[in-house]
Amino acid sequence: MIRTFSLSVLALAASFSAAAAQTEIQWWHAMGGELGQKLEAVAAAYNASQSEFKVTPSFKGTYAETMTAAIAAFRAKEQPAIVQVFEVGTGTMMAAKGAIYPVYQLMKDAGEPFDPAGFLPAVVGYYTDSEGNMLSMPFNSSTPIMYYNKDVFEKAGLDRNTPPKTWEDVEAFSKKIMESGAAKCGFTSGWISWAQLENFSAWHNQPIGTMENGFGGLATELTVNGPVQARHWENMARWQKEGVFSYGGPGGGADAPPKFYTQECAIYMNSSASRAGVVANAKEFEVGYGMLPHYADIAPQNSIIGGATLWVMTGRPEAEYKAAANFFTFLSSPEVQAQWHQDTGYLPITQAAWDLSKSQGYYDANPGADVSIQQMTLNAPTGNSKGLRFGSYVQIRGIIDEEFQALLSGQKDAQTALNDLVARGNVLIREFETANK
């Protein structure tokens, strides 16, 4: 009795002293709506799991706003310990050597257990340096996949369980769908830059830029004006004219989802993380899933990711880095990862989390949820399909949209549009190189 009592007093005292010495770190993020709530739940679970550290998430707007906030704060020496940065900001973050604390270094310095081999190479490869060191912690990653309307397929006399495999199929299926009157258009796509140029290139094992798509250094140049890409863009322009393809707008392509949801278009390419949204909105028809199409004469390689990772910023007190490292260990544990993956539709970052989801029967209950992982891991990544790393890439994405619009409106042919895109993008890459040398 007395023993139990003194033990509980000890425990109480321990928890008190822990509370007094608790280290709090700021985690700035860009996840709104339901995703934001899921993120807060992860932080809350971590805070409840131990009493030494406390992670405080703070929503900082869109990805661009979050990044600007972090930069403003860094310049005023008020930066958070952890900030979420989108994939196209990777080049900027990596070049800022004095502002970031590489994750592999952080884990080593803090003495946290860390096994780089446990992560899925297709995911973490995007965020490693040329020596294979992990610089940031992948958090929410996704890859573009194909969604299709099974009911429309059936109405058009197609097999409802066979998605098109090649671009030739896409064209043939689309024409059949349009001729039969099952739908007005064949396909639409979100994220033209990401899906129909970057991923298109990786999927067909074509270089996006020199020096392994920019992984090799700042002296890289864009090379997306190759014959395979030109062929695809030429087709896209023709398909747009014929009504096979319907353009969904620049950036994320905000006009694309309604075209699929209202059954105007039968096929839709967009992020695998859109799956929950697609299922919720496609109330009047059944959705099928497939990998991205490839041209029949070129074997598919693997797709690349998008999304965001967590970067650790320098200039915080030592204790905060212990907290950050400890939190990352928690975050990459199979249970937390599997839960996050299943709740949000983002890719798991470790093999263990994927295996756990499989054994939990998640993919049996949610058909199509693993298309993304299979597509990403179809082949071991090559220099063309590891990812991409260019400076000023946010603006380059804008240029891609502009040139694509010039192509569709008939101002330019595909080769000219791609050549202009490469020339304009390279100017920005050179500027970035001089500013960061």
Partner 1 sequence: MTRIDSLLIRTAGWMLALLWVLPLLYAMWAAFHPPAYEARFVLNAPLTLNNFARAWDQAPFARYFLNTIILVTMILTVQLVLCTLAAFAFARLDFPGKGVLFAVVLVQLLVVPDILLVENYKTMRALGLVDTILAIGLPYFASAFAIFLLRQTFKTIPRELDEAARVEGCTLLGLLWRVYVPLGKPAMLAFGLVSVSHHWNNFLWPLIITNSVETRPLTVGLSIFATTDSGTDWALINAATLMTSAPLLLGFLLFQRQFVQSFMRAGIK
Partner 2 sequence: MKRAIFRNQLLPWLLLAPQLVITFVFFLWPAAQAGWQSFLREDAFGLKTTFVGIENYAALLKDRLYVDSITVTLVFSVSVAVLALSISLVLALAVDRMLSSAKVYTTLLVWPYAVAPAIAGLLWWFIFNPTIGLAPYALEVLGIDWDHSLNGTQSMILVIIAATWKQISYNFLFFVAGLQAIPASMREAAAIDGAGPVRRFWTITLPLLAPTTFFLLVVNTVYALFDTFPVIDATTEGGPAQATNILVYKVYVDGFLGLNLGSSAAQSVILMGVVILLTVVQFRYIERRVEY
Residues that bind partner 2 (CB under 8 A): 64, 67-68, 71, 74-75, 92, 95-99, 247-251, 254-255, 258-259, 262, 264, 392, 394-395, 398, 401-403, 405-406, 408-409, 411, 428, 431-432, 434-437
**Distance between CA atoms of 341 and 356, rounded to whole angstroms?**
11
Among 144, 290, 345, 348, binds partner 1 (CB under 8 A): 345
- Does 211 participate in binding partner 1 (rule CB under 8 A)? no
Q: How many CA atoms lie within 13 A of 297 on its CB side?
A: 3
Total residues interacting with partner 1, rule: CB under 8 A: 41
**Binds 405, which of partner 2, partner 1, none (CB < 5 to 8 A, cut-off by type)?**
partner 2
Instruction: Decide whether 55 or 273 has the Cβ nearer to partner 1.
Output: 273
The region of 30-38, 89-97, 418-426, 427-435 touching partner 1 under the rule CB under 8 A is 30-38
- State the DSSP code for 112: -
Give the helix/strand (H/E) hosting 26: strand 23-29
Neighbours of 8 (CB within 10 A): 10
**Binds 216, which of partner 1, partner 2, none (CB < 5 to 8 A, cut-off by type)?**
none
Both structure tokens of 422: 């490469």
Nearest by Cα to 129 from 110, 105, 108: 105
The region of 72-80, 179-187, 204-212, 288-296 touching partner 1 under the rule CB under 8 A is 72-80
Contact 301, 203 (CB under 8 A): yes
Cβ 157 to partner 1, closest distance in Å?
A: 29
Interface mask toward partner 1 for 136-175; x: CB under 8 A:
------x---------------------------------
Provide DSSP, 131-196.
TS-B-SEEEEEE-EEEEEEHHHHHHTTS-TT----BHHHHHHHHHHHHHHTS-SEEEEES-HHIII
Among 133, 166, 210, 281, binds partner 1 (CB under 8 A): 281
**Distance between CA atoms of 406 and 414, rounded to whole angstroms?**
9
Per DSSP, the three-state class of 389 is coil
The region of 17-25, 62-70, 88-96, 361-369 touching partner 1 under the rule CB under 8 A is 62-70
Interface positions with partner 1 (CB under 8 A): 26, 28, 30-37, 58-62, 65, 68-69, 71-73, 75-78, 142, 254, 257, 261-262, 271, 273-278, 280-281, 283, 345
